[in-house]
Amino acid sequence: MEILRIENICKSFGTKKVLRDVCFSVEEQSIFGFIGRNGAGKTTTMKLILGLLKADSGSITVCNEPVQYGETRTNRFVGYLPDVPEFYPYMKAREYLKLCGEIAGLSGKELKTRIDELLQLVGLGEEKGRIGGYSRGMKQRLGIAQALIGRPRLLICDEPTSALDPMGRHEILDILLEAKGQTSVLFSTHILSDVERISDHVALLEGGTVKMSGAIQDLKAMRSRTGARLVLKDPADTGKVLQAFSGAEKRVNELEFREMPEAEERRLFTYLAEENIPVLRFERKEPDLEDLFMEAVQ
């Protein structure tokens, strides 16, 4: 079942066209990665889904109900984490979630149980301090708990891992993976490795249009080419190989080839043998999301 469907959405601000016929859909209990460069229109798209902006044309449905600008009933299905969530710094996590739960219509034992579940999910169950003393990662985790308090059918997260260190990013991604069991997740980011790690489907927004959309493995099979990575013993040899084989990226004693057909691989090894160049490692590189991104935006 489709939780979210976006069809031919267009949006301009003055004379600047931000979105042009954007189309994609999010399936039930899936994780959908919405990727694109900063300023590509990802946040604008999310605000349109929430009814905070009015589209120039096109349609958006959440759980088969149309989104209406300004006063949309579909937000009862949606939990939202903005890129920089704001909190009452004098509150503690349980106090804040109790307030959010009451606004969502929860009370009594049901609310207490839900708060306990969510604090356990985001790893804040034992935290006693006030929110004002939280790290950025802790605030992001509390923000996810807040977004999930009303048991939404769709969780929207705008750049949830931005500005976090690797450990903090890892924690947030694990939480989103676990949340998939109870909701669908749409999260935007420009960190391609995050999307590849947890997403079922992906859409790339570039120049206001969706350049590609679908299951990651399907996109790889359809669009990408196999590359290779060559590690040499002597860094000085990388320059020689680079002159003989264009199109590689050089990193000290490594060369990374975005494309490496079998015929070119045979020619490479013939060249290395003839020039007596010692090789530490050669490995085929399966296409990843970065390859797809670069191919789509070039």
pLDDT tier at 37, thresholds 50, 70, 90: confident
Are 94 and 181 members of one domain? Answer: yes
Average pLDDT over residues 21-31: 95
Residue 298 has pLDDT above 80, yes or no: no
What's residue 291's pLDDT?
67
What's residue 94's pLDDT?
96
Are 93 and 159 members of one domain? Answer: yes
Residue 253 has pLDDT above 90, yes or no: no
pLDDT tier at 45, thresholds 50, 70, 90: very high
37-41, 123-127, 287-291: segment of lowest average pLDDT: 287-291
pTM of the model: 0.80
Are 130 and 85 members of one domain? Answer: yes
Average pLDDT over residues 280-284: 88
What's residue 222's pLDDT?
66
Q: What is the pLDDT of residues 176-186, one digit of tens each?
A: 999 998 899 99
CATH at 77 = 3.40.50.300
Which residue, of 221, 239, 260, is where some domain finishes? 221
163-167, 183-187, 244-248: segment of lowest average pLDDT: 244-248
Are 276 and 150 members of one domain? Answer: no
* Better-predicted residue by pLDDT, 38 or 123: 123
Give the chain's mean pLDDT: 90
Q: What are 274's strand-pairing partners?
A: none
Are 252 and 209 members of one domain? Answer: no
Residue 223 has pLDDT above 70, yes or no: no
Average pLDDT over residues 160-181: 91
Domain count, the chain: 2
Which residue, of 221, 236, 266, is where some domain finishes? 221
Residue 170 has pLDDT above 80, yes or no: yes
Are 146 and 162 members of one domain? Answer: yes
Are 246 and 211 members of one domain? Answer: no
CATH at 229 = 3.30.70
Q: Range of 185's domain?
A: 2-221
Average pLDDT over residues 98-120: 94
